[in-house]
Amino acid sequence: MKHLLLTASLLLLSTSFLMGYDVEYTVMAQSGLQLREGPEIDSKVLVSIPFGKHVLGKGMPFDVQQYYEYGELDAIDAKYRFTSEGLNGFWHHVSFEDIEGFVFSGYLIRGSFITEPNDTLSYVMFEHGFSCDPIEFSNNYNYYELSHTSDSIKLREIYIQFELRQHFSTELKEKYDDIWFNFPFRIIVNSEFGNSFILGSANKLETYEDENLLNEYQSGYNDRCKEFGFLYPEQTYKFYYRNTNHVLRGVAFVDANDSKNEIKYGISYSVTNRSFNLNEIPLELRGQQSLRRHADFNTPIIILVTDVNQDGILDVLIASHTMTESCGICWYKDLYISERGKNITIRHASRSTVCNCVT
């Protein structure tokens, strides 16, 4: 009877507090979040919801963690609230894959922040630190840090942690909070270098350390190229790696499907040695921005050329910078990886998007 009354009370609260409607949340418990039959710790576990999966909250359309920070859930009776592993929360009525039950709300953040990787790409890429953008993540992937200095590039295995806002120190909150947005989580790795990316792969990769082939371009080549390589139209970057010539070239073109005949920007990639010749492979700049837009932001920029999959052909990481209609600024990093089989191909393997948090 006590169990039934408690369940009924929470259901009534859930549907009456804000004229209840379903709201999507992302599960951020890395070991999974248990969906229970009732709002009690000893209630039957219906299913364990994996990290990154989405649930529908019944009648709580707000970010649970953030509003707990500012004391705006005081209307919920204290007996329904509790703390687990330093996180404040309550028994939240949710549904997951047509199963309804209760979960601890402290591990939920409102919105879709984790998405399943694109099966056709087999790679994902994102950056460590604070984020307000969704990332592609799968527990079945292998994760690596792709780090670089002016002299070397290193690929090594890492373990990723996701720190939720309630765990942020007071110093971090004061430093990164502003009137626009509060970061919901932080991605933490045991990073050796500041210049690094997180690379996830469906297949196991061979770890390595290699020289930074961009070093000659980064040292006094151009004031705008001291850190990265800005690639303007008809400029070429040439690399010799494992008896193979690699050439990246900026190209201007007009899209045949563009009625405005606006000049667009692209990159061609040619790879040659005695046994094969891959000539002028186009690396599409995602979004097909105009040449003028790229010139305004000094993009595209070659961030890395390295052999991620150790097949003897260089892979390329390229960044482009643009501005959204709402005046938000976004960086796009596109990774192109070679595949050696009967024929050698270069394909777009993943994209990382980092925007400012203007909402």
For residues 198 and 157, what is the distance between their CA atoms, to the nearest angstrom?
10
Sorting pLDDT into bands at 50, 70 and 90, what band is 352?
A: confident
16-25, pLDDT tens digit by residue? 344 456 789 9
Strand spans (E) along 28-86: 33-36, 45-49, 54-58, 81-84
For residues 220 and 227, what is the distance between their CA atoms, to the nearest angstrom?
10
Q: Are 115 and 51 in contact (CB under 8 A)?
A: no
Mean pLDDT score across all residues of the chain: 77
Residues 68 and 126 reside in one and the same domain: no
156-183, pLDDT tens digit by residue? 999 888 888 777 777 776 766 654 456 6
Decide if pLDDT at 155 tops 90.
yes
Sorting pLDDT into bands at 50, 70 and 90, what band is 196?
A: confident
For residues 25 and 114, what is the distance between their CA atoms, to the nearest angstrom?
10
Residues 19 and 149 reside in one and the same domain: no
Amino acid at 308: V
Last residue of a domain, one of 88, 110, 132: 110
Structural domain total, the chain: 2
The token duo for 264 is 């667009």
Residues 67 and 129 reside in one and the same domain: no
The CB density around residue 90, as the number of other CB atoms within 10 Å, is 23
Residues 74 and 119 reside in one and the same domain: no
Task: Provide the sign of the torsion angle of the four alpha carbons 308, 309, 313, 317, taken in this order.
Answer: negative
Residues 63 and 133 reside in one and the same domain: no
Q: Dihedral (C-alpha) 248, 253, 258, 261: value to the nearest 10 degrees?
A: 150
CATH code of 92's domain: 2.30.30.40
Residues 42 and 127 reside in one and the same domain: no
Decide if pLDDT at 69 tops 50.
no
For residues 93 and 25, what is the distance between their CA atoms, to the nearest angstrom?
12
Residues 125 and 143 reside in one and the same domain: yes
- Mean pLDDT of all residues in 53-68: 66
Show the domain range for 232: 114-355
Task: Provide the sign of the torsion angle of the four alpha carbons 186, 190, 193, 197, taken in this order.
Answer: negative
Strand-by-strand arrangement of the 244-254 sheet: 236-241, 244-254, 263-272, 277-283
CA-based nearest residue to 192, from 158, 165, 242: 158
Q: Dihedral (C-alpha) 224, 226, 231, 232: value to the nearest 10 degrees?
A: 30
Residues 162 and 88 reside in one and the same domain: no
Residues 72 and 129 reside in one and the same domain: no
Amino acid at 177: D
The token duo for 6 is 């408690």
